[in-house]
Amino acid sequence: MKSFVAWVLLLFVSSLASAQEITYRKHIRPLWEDKCERCHGSSAPYLGTFEENKKEYEKDDKGPRMDSYADLIFFIGWPDTGAIMRRLDDGKNKKDGVPGNMYKRLGKNEEERQANLKLFKQWVGEDAWIMKKPNEITKEELMRIKTPY
Ligand code: HEC
């Protein structure tokens, strides 16, 4: 009986854990501060400026700035649709099977990278984790994007 109660309790707790909503403020922001901020923070240029002088910024380990909620979802929904998905994917969702070049930034080892990729995927929405570019994506696919604040 005791073990049955423990089992039910375990089921309950694990369903709570899996139902937990992944939000920008609680999960993604701290992860971003840890793994992305040093190159995409407030000292980095906005995408337009970055593109005017890409080579110089890259030399300095600076990518386009994405240091707020709005600036980050710019690289998910619109106008730089799917950039986060294409860069962070481990290759499993890409036609060429090659991981995006920011995948390695997600962690020090494969276990950490996979755990952090999972958080990003859950935040964007598993069925919205699409590699398509702005001229390829459909409105229906765009509407699947979740990214709760
Ligand atoms: C060591 C520096 C560095 C770190 C850390 C880093 N990035 Fe980058 N990132 C860059 C540079 C430089 C570029 C531009 C060159 C390129 O396109 O690869 C870039 C480009 C990108 C782009 C493409 C933007 C576009 O032009 O469409 C995305 C998306 C991105 N990074 C996301 C991330 C995320 C998310 C993290 C954290 C998990 C991260 N990066 C960590 C340096 C970094």
Whether 8 maps to a domain, the answer reads no
pLDDT of residue 148: 98
Q: Which atom of ligand 1 is nearest to the CA of 57?
A: 12
Distance from Cα 141 to the centre of ligand 1, integer Å: 24
For the entire predicted model, the pTM comes to: 0.90
pLDDT of residue 7: 74
Ligand 1, residues 24, 33, 40: which to mutate, most atoms within 8 A of Cβ? 40
The residue segments making up the domain with residue 46 are 21-142
The pair of structure tokens assigned to 39 is 């190159």
pLDDT of residue 6: 78
Whether 138 maps to a domain, the answer reads yes
What parts of the chain have a pLDDT lower than 50? none
Whether 15 maps to a domain, the answer reads no
pLDDT of residue 122: 98
Whether 137 maps to a domain, the answer reads yes
DSSP 80: S
Alpha-helical runs (H) found in the chain? 2-19, 29-35, 37-40, 47-52, 54-59, 69-73, 83-88, 110-124, 139-142
For atom 14 of ligand 1, which residue has the closest CA?
63
- pLDDT tens string 71-110: 999 999 999 999 999 999 999 999 999 999 999 999 999 9
Identify the residues whose C-beta falls under 6 Å from ligand 1. 35-36, 38-40, 58, 61, 63-64, 75, 80, 83-84, 87-88, 101-102, 105-106
Whether 127 maps to a domain, the answer reads yes
Count of structural domains within the chain: 1
Distance from Cα 63 to the centre of ligand 1, integer Å: 5
Whether 1 maps to a domain, the answer reads no
- The span from the CA of 74 to the CA of 106, in Å, is 19
pLDDT of residue 86: 98
Distance from Cα 56 to the centre of ligand 1, integer Å: 15
pLDDT of residue 3: 78
